[in-house]
Structure 1
Amino acid sequence: MSLADHPGFDSGGALWFQDLTEIPNGLYGPLFPFLIAGLHYTNTQITFTASSVHKVDKFAELAKAYKTFLNLLTVGLYFLSFQMPQGSLLYWATNLSFSIAQQSILNHPVVSAKLGLQGNDTLQKEAGNPILTNINEPQLSDSSSKGRMISVHNLTPKELVALSAKYLSGGHKEKSIPLLRLALEKDPEYLQAMVILGQALYQKDQFAEAAKYLEEAASMLLDACPTELAEVDLLIVASQWAGVSNIRQGKTSEGITHLERVANMEEPEDPKSKAHYLDALVLYSSAIFNEGRRDEAAKYLRRVVAYDPSFSELLKQCEEDDTDTIPTSSSSNSTHKTS
């Protein structure tokens, strides 16, 4: 409306922008361009900090390049804003401000939990068990017994997994792996321990052993024909990480088989499971794109974009890129919900 000199816009502003049809000028002219450039830059940083899919295996280079492009675009937007009516700039600034506020609110742990966007993340949540006092000592403090030290060998598999999750949340994979192995010694069919151990080993670049545990978990889940929400979610995560573990070993066809299993599943309704499902679709589309199946890769990326439009640029790259591969980001830095 301001671009078309809509009646009344020449006297509908306030403060220094009385005429919304004018381009920025005068002493206060740079305020809107500076505000829009700053809001755009802030929005970019929040988006890439909060995103999880951009951290999934081979998208690191593309995500980094795209973020660099958006950062450089900040300068272009600053100068472009001097050529736009102040009414458009007012709308633009408001839109960016609400976008930042929305992302900040949704990224808050309490809000995410209330809305079911975060769920019970086994790799991130604070487990309600005491911490080992020393990694070399298989003992921990029992708070219910006034500081009495007890051996980790006396813990149940569930308690061992919870304790390992606390170490993983602090980035101490080398401390969590022995606990997960002990949990599996006590209960060799503890699926959650298998999946988390596979993830931890993957993040330690031990791809072959990681694939062994993840494939075993996926096989056991398939044999059980899971119907419960938690089991279906665990199958998605196990298949996803088994896929990338094989791909990182150069076993592309085996990796695609695991990822294709998720792609052929019905899209979950649960927000947490759906996030895992979409992560797997991104990985699958990347893998088959690299095998020359461009159209099929674009089809699956469209399903991701339908849920999260922020990945439309990745779809555009897939549809228009003439290069041989689509880079993806490193799963070794990402954490996935498994409970």
Structure 2
Amino acid sequence: MSVQRLLLQHRRYSRNSPEIYFLHNFTSSDSHNKPSNPSDHYRCHSHGLNWYGHFLNSLLPSKPQFVIQPSVSFCRSFCTGDSRIGNISDDSVATQYESTDLLISENISASAEESILPVRALISLLDGYRDLTGFPWWIIIVSSTVALRLTLFPFVLLQLHKLKRIGALFPILPPPLPPPMSGRSLRDQLKIFFKEKRAAGCPSFFWYFASLTVEVPCFLLWITTIRRMSLHHHEGFDCGGILWFQNLTEVPSGVLGPVFPLLIAGLHYINVQVSFQKYSVEKMSGFVGLIAKIYKKYLEVLTLPILLITFNIPQGSLVFWLTNSSMTVIQQLSLNHPNVRKKLGLPQKDTQLEAAHQKELGNTGEIKIDPSKNQSKISVQNLSPHELVNLSIKLLAGGRKDEAMSFLRLAIAKDPENVRALLIIGQRLLQDGSLPEATEYLERTIAKLLLKENQMEIEDVDLLILSSQWAGVACIRQGKMGEGLSHLERIATLKEPDDPKSKAHYYGGLVLLSSTLINVGRKNDAIIYLQMATAYDESYKEFLLQCENEEDDIASDLVTSRRGDY
């Protein structure tokens, strides 16, 4: 009886198979008509074999009839006068049973798979929806997909708000990786990074991948369920379509067959272009910009495989895929519209970025450069990073420190490789006593300058000397004597510059190094560097004499003498 039930269950998946139909009737007659004695059993068995012979004869065009003698066992070989029939051996019968076992095992494995996955629950839900409304299956698929996307939309908004918060806080956090020559280990740098991240209330970076854990599984569940319903000829799927896709269980075919594949591939390409809009991708620089461009090219090339794959997917699944892609395009276009973003509280994109900076700076898009000269004005969006740095220097000289810092940060936002802006911000923060943040900016300056060590110009050498001095002072003031000493010793490894201004900064750095060496007990090394500085400028001779006479206040005097430089 168990075999009969399994075969009956499998019949709905293989209605057109005469082999399965025969096996069903054979097992049914054998199971429902059990003989009461051995002779009845023999007659029943012989009757079944004779029926099987008539069945084979009906399939053959030859006149000779296929007759099985009652004395011949079903498991023995038998023949007919027709040479086209040949011999049916024990192997053919065994193959017949193996096919039956294979069908049964496939049915059992499919049932087990459905019981493990939530596919069965979704099929029941869709069946209930259809029974309630009476809609054809293509409307059921489309409307359920729209309902799914509307249900997930609040989660998308939550993710965007979290990413907005991360984008606002990340620039003020220390880098997660230790800057070159900083002397910090990766573990120490990560501790500092996560400590500052928690203090600032920055959301988890998991939100960057939140869609992979929610939207993608829902998409896979839906398309897997509808695909299974199509392949298993679910009730109503063979006539649940409309127009050219009446049968949802078939793959695209005919003249209008390419409609679904072309639409799906085209919508995928449109989604890529909307997601990676030209003005946002091309403005990315560095490694992140390179990765974004490569990823965009990869998604564009993926359009062709998607086109080929969709020709081999049942039309029921294609209805879902097309609806889902259409909803994605609508969602992307809506979220890129300025008015929609404003209503949803999302940050404006590139065209409004300059206005946001201007609002932060407390102006209306124009700034006064020199009030004494007819109050001439200049638009911020027309200024290059170099011009912004020069303008900030003028503002610092005029005592407008907050405005100068804002323009320096804007210059870095436009050009992250602008070492002058990084250095001036670090110096300003050092003067204000913001030692950790000052150290971060100064070490970023040093790291960028060291990357072009073999191509440094005169100005780059001068900036490296100054940034090493101030980074050393910032670290020493925080009690990080080792890190401060490593920054100052970098100056001693440089070749004496030819430029007069850079040379003065160079020997000033050696004096600061001597002060630090005295504090750590390396008096002899300090004397060597002081002798070099004295040979350049006789005004340092006083400190050399104090060091040689072992006066205790030499270190404080050296620091005081250099304090005016920073």
Aligned to 2:491: 262
Question: Which residue among 530, 539, 549 is the counterpart of 1:301?
Answer: 530
Identity %: 47
Distance 1:155 1:331, change over 3 A: farther
> CA–CA distance in 2 between the matches of 1:156 and 1:227?
22
Shift of 1:149: 4.2
> CA–CA distance in 2 between the matches of 1:324 and 1:331?
15
Asked whether 1:178 is paired with 2:406, we answer: yes
Shift of 1:191: 0.9
Asked whether 1:329 is paired with 2:560, we answer: yes
Question: Which residue among 206, 210, 229 is the counterpart of 2:434?
Answer: 206
For the residue of structure 1 that corresponds to 2:555, the secondary structure is: coil
Is contact 1:202-1:332 (8 Å) kept? no
Aligned to 2:501: 272
> CA–CA distance in 2 between the matches of 1:308 and 1:222?
28
Asked whether 1:223 is paired with 2:451, we answer: yes
Distance 1:228 1:323, change over 3 A: same
> CA–CA distance in 1 between the matches of 2:472 and 2:401?
21
Is contact 2:534-2:540 (8 Å) kept? yes
> CA–CA distance in 1 between the matches of 2:378 and 2:555?
51
Shift of 1:148: 6.3
Is contact 2:510-2:530 (8 Å) kept? yes
Shift of 1:212: 0.6
> CA–CA distance in 1 between the matches of 2:470 and 2:369?
34
Shift of 1:298: 0.9
Question: Which residue among 521, 529, 533 is the counterpart of 1:292?
Answer: 521
State the one-letter code of the partner of 1:283.
L
> CA–CA distance in 2 between the matches of 1:205 and 1:230?
27
Distance 1:164 1:303, change over 3 A: same
User: What TM-score do the two structures reach when normalised by structure 1?
Assistant: 0.55
> CA–CA distance in 2 between the matches of 1:277 and 1:142?
33
For the residue of structure 1 that corresponds to 2:485, the secondary structure is: helix
Distance 1:330 1:211, change over 3 A: farther
State the one-letter code of the partner of 1:178.
S
Q: CA RMSD in A?
A: 2.5
Distance 1:142 1:278, change over 3 A: closer
Aligned to 2:480: 251
Distance 1:142 1:316, change over 3 A: closer
Question: Which residue among 184, 191, 200 is the counterpart of 2:419?
Answer: 191
> CA–CA distance in 2 between the matches of 1:332 and 1:199?
12
Shift of 1:151: 3.9
> CA–CA distance in 2 between the matches of 1:173 and 1:332?
20
> CA–CA distance in 1 between the matches of 2:551 and 2:464?
34
For the residue of structure 2 that corresponds to 1:140, the secondary structure is: strand
Distance 1:203 1:330, change over 3 A: farther
> CA–CA distance in 2 between the matches of 1:333 and 1:305?
19
> CA–CA distance in 2 between the matches of 1:276 and 1:292?
25
Query: Unaligned regions of 5+ residues in structure 2, if any?
Result: 1-357
User: Where do residues 46-125 of structure 1 align in structure 2 (5 Å cutoff)?
Assistant: none
> CA–CA distance in 1 between the matches of 2:367 and 2:541?
48
Shift of 1:227: 3.3
> CA–CA distance in 2 between the matches of 1:170 and 1:148?
16
Is contact 2:392-2:407 (8 Å) kept? yes
Is contact 2:425-2:438 (8 Å) kept? yes
> Greater shift after overlay, 288-297 or 232-241?
232-241
Q: Tell me which protein shows more helix as a share of its residues.
A: 2
Aligned to 1:160: 388
User: Where do residues 19-38 of structure 1 align in structure 2 (5 Å cutoff)?
Assistant: none
Shift of 1:176: 1.6
Distance 1:266 1:222, change over 3 A: same
Shift of 1:136: 3.6
Shift of 1:203: 1.1
Query: Unaligned regions of 5+ residues in structure 1, if any?
Result: 1-131
Shift of 1:154: 3.6
> CA–CA distance in 1 between the matches of 2:369 and 2:506?
39
Distance 1:252 1:153, change over 3 A: farther
> Greater shift after overlay, 319-328 or 245-254?
319-328
Aligned length: 201
Higher relative contact order (CA 8 A, sep 6+): 1
> CA–CA distance in 2 between the matches of 1:242 and 1:321?
28
Tell which structure's C-alpha radius of gyration is larger.
2
Q: Which whole-Å deviations, capped at 9, do the CAs of 1:262-297 have from their partners, x for residues lacking one?
A: 111111111111011011101110011100001110
> CA–CA distance in 2 between the matches of 1:333 and 1:311?
15
> CA–CA distance in 1 between the matches of 2:561 and 2:439?
16
For the residue of structure 2 that corresponds to 1:329, the secondary structure is: helix
Shift of 1:183: 0.7
State the one-letter code of the partner of 2:513.
Y
Q: Which whole-Å deviations, capped at 9, do the CAs of 1:116-160 have from their partners, x for residues lacking one?
A: xxxxxxxxxxxxxxxx9xx742632478xx856444344211111
Aligned to 1:139: 366
Distance 1:239 1:189, change over 3 A: same
> CA–CA distance in 1 between the matches of 2:497 and 2:369?
40
